[in-house]
Structure 1
Amino acid sequence: MRVWACPSGGWEIARGRPHERLRPGVRGYRGYRIDLGRTHRRLELPGGLVTLLVGFGPPVRVSDPAGADGRTPRSLTSLFAGPHTRAVLGEHDGRAYGVQVFLAPWAAHRLLAVDMGDFTDSVADLDAVLGSRRARNLADTLATAPGWAERFALLDCLLTSLPAGSSRLIGGRVTGPEPNPQVLRAWELLAAGPRPVPVGSVAAEVGWSERQLRRRFQEQIGLSPKAVARVARLRHALALLTRGHPASATALACGFHDQPHFQREFKAMTGLTPAEFLGHRAAAAALAGGGRVDRVPGEVTSVLLPAQAAGEVPLECGRFLQDGRCTAMTG
């Protein structure tokens, strides 16, 4: 376990490694306690993982930054974020406290006994996944633990049925079936990147028809094989950009037809242009603790955005409409 803390007490972040019996399906644990005294806005980018968040403090406001899904923003204390093909905006008033568990979609399907297709491009109240009583008990148990190490150990016990548990249960229910080996192999092939792999060749390698592969992916992953490859390509592009590769070289390395194609796809999935993405990342890195923007080690997961000023109406992620004029956000 590793812990980072602000000397002035404004924030604390802990990262824990799950028990070996849970890996690689359960990627990691993250604990956080934030008291910044100002609005905090994070753009969570599409990636290969889903998130179970158990909150102990004020709720977070979750929305589609561009309003493309037509859903009303929701305030949630504990939540389950399913597999996404577009970014999600999370906002809080500067105070946040809780624990996150990061899982591969197929692991969430098994451990939580849910149909992942029910959570495609959506964020659900944890009550809808575990039931209100189980979700509340989980939050109370973790919140009253004395520290991060104890909370992570409790999660290990819960998810592995180590001696602290009596049977293979999650929140009081039996876990779901093991993922199909064909799904796991196809997932590995599609996520390998950086260039997309034809779905037909993946289906042939695992011995299934494309139709059967799509049906199983919808149930156990929550995305189509094509969508998984699309998200994987974005993940690789994000990694290359943050390492200093030019957008043109990134587009070529990730198999986009040309740079305009890359720009369109990047904007559709993140709400930002590559230049806006890099600008926000640079601004966050200049702040104390900026190196810990990302929620998962080794992955580009998030972008810190400036607080939205009074009177501004969101137009799209990265720009605002103010006094009838479109103006770029500044940090």
Structure 2
Amino acid sequence: MYEERPSRLPGAVVWTSTPTGGVPRPVLPDGCMDLLWNEGRLIVAGPDTRAHLPDGPATAWAGVRLHPGTAPALLGVPAHELRDRRVELTDLWPAATVRRLRAGIEAATHPAAALEELALERAAPPDPELRRLVAALAKGRPVATVADELGLGPRQLHRRSLHAFGYGPKTLARVLRLQRALALARRGVPYADTATRAGYADQAHFARDVKALSGMTPTVLLGRGAGAEGSGTGQEPVKGANRSTS
């Protein structure tokens, strides 16, 4: 079972996931990075450019999903160094520090709340320009238009985006468009209308992008077809559930 709540850290989400025996769903790109707790391990899930599928046995997870662009200041690592990766926190921070943090979370009644406290203690104030960029792209505004409004040239915007999000602004816009479209489709909006409202050229464009980023057709991903993978399981994607670290 998956549960989430807004974090006291602006824009972040605190979540937990416990196995229910359902079919796991892919973890889709969302522009975010997560700080994770799983079986005594502190893990960082970097920004995704493709879907991740769980491997290994299902276990309980807790996480803090950080607002796009805020994780590098907290972790002290540029986002592009963690793109499409899951890494142990000991690969980023001193081992003694991580041991102390791990002991505190293990002793906590609610690991997710302890994980949130860790993030709150180490978070830095968000970059207002990057927050404006994310907000504008999430609404479907063109990258060039937003860059002009922020007074950023193409090279400067790309460099800052790589550091903050792990990829360039056009990829970020594509990821946020996918999330916008899936939110519409999950509410029952027909695919043709979803495509138009989310900013795709047409329904075929929407279907191609879903396939490219998730590895599935919209019907299979959203469980609308009879016998579709993931249909009716009640499972939510767990960002850290791909157990490999590199």
TM category, shorter: 0.7 to 0.9
Amino acid at match of 2:128: P
Structure 1 position 119 matched with structure 2 position 82 = yes
Matched, 1:267 2:211: yes
In the other structure, the counterpart of 1:211 is 155
Distance (whole Å) between structure 2 residues aligned to residue 274 and residue 231 of structure 1: 15
Q: 1:46 to 1:156 in 2, by over 3 A?
A: closer
Contact 2:220 2:229 in 1 (8 A): no
Q: CA separation in 2, counterparts of 1:89 and 1:181? A: 33
Contact 2:68/2:134 (8 A) holds in 1 = no
- Cα distance change, pair 98–132 in 1 and its aligned pair in 2 (3 A): farther
Structure 1 segments (4+ residues) deviating >4 Å: 280-285
What are the within-5 Å matches in structure 2 for residues 150-161 of structure 1?
A: 151-161=111-121
Label 1:100 to 1:202 Cα distance change in 2 as closer, same or farther (>3 A).
Answer: same
Higher strand share: 1
Following superposition, the deviation at residue 202 of structure 1 comes to 1.0
2:189 to 242, 245, 248: 245
State the Cα deviation string for residues 13-69 of structure 1 (Å, max 9, x = none).
5545433xx212xx1222344375x9x633101113211111126xxxxxxxxxxxx
Letter in 1 for 2:101: L
1:136 is displaced (CA, Å) by 3.6
In the alignment, is residue 31 of structure 1 matched against residue 20 of structure 2? no
The amino acid that maps onto 1:49 is C
The answer as to whether partners of 1:55 and 1:99 remain within 8 angstroms in 2 is yes
**Post-superposition offset of 1:130:** 2.7
The residue aligned with 2:139 is 192
| Bigger Cα displacement from structure 2, 270-279 vs 253-262 | 253-262
- Counterpart in 1 of 2:69? 106
8 Å contact 1:56–1:143 — kept in the other structure?
Answer: no
Aligned-residue RMSD, C-alpha = 2.9
Q: 1:255 aligns with which of 184, 193, 199?
A: 199
Deviation digits for residues 80-104 of structure 1, max 9, x if unmatched? 111222111112323x133211101
Percent identity, please: 33
2:25 aligned to 28, 42, 50, which one?
Answer: 42
Task: Please point out which of 44, 47, 55 is paired with 2:38.
Answer: 55
Report what 1:18 is aligned to. Answer: 7
The residue type paired with residue 31 of structure 2 is: G
What is the letter of the counterpart of residue 221 of structure 2?
F
Change in CA separation of 1:184 and 1:286 when aligned onto 2, cut-off 3 Å: closer
Q: Are residues 237 and 123 of structure 1, via their aligned partners in 2, closer, same or farther at CA, if it must alter by over 3 Å?
A: same
Report the equivalent of 1:81: 45
Secondary structure of the corresponding residue to residue 91 of structure 1 = coil
Matched position secondary structure for 1:106? coil
Q: 1:258 to 1:152 in 2, by over 3 A?
A: closer
Matches within 5 A, 1:279-290: 279=223, 284=230, 286-287=232-233, 290=234
> In 1, distance between residues paired with 2:220 and 2:116?
39
Higher relative contact order (CA 8 A, sep 6+): 2
Verify: 1:144 aligned to 2:131, yes or no. no
Distance 1:258 1:13 in 2: 33
> Mean alpha-carbon deviation: is it higher for 119-128 or for 241-250?
119-128
- For 1:263 and 1:14, the matched residues in 2 are separated by 28
Q: Contact 1:191 / 1:228 at 8 angstroms: preserved in 2?
A: no
TM-score (ref. length: structure 1): 0.63
The two structures have a TM-score, normalised by structure 2, of 0.83
What secondary structure, in the 3-state scheme, does the structure 2 residue paired with 1:29 have?
A: strand
Greater per-residue helix proportion: 2
Output the CA distance in 2 between the equivalents of 1:201 and 1:257: 19
The one-letter code of the counterpart of 1:210 is P
Larger Rg: 1
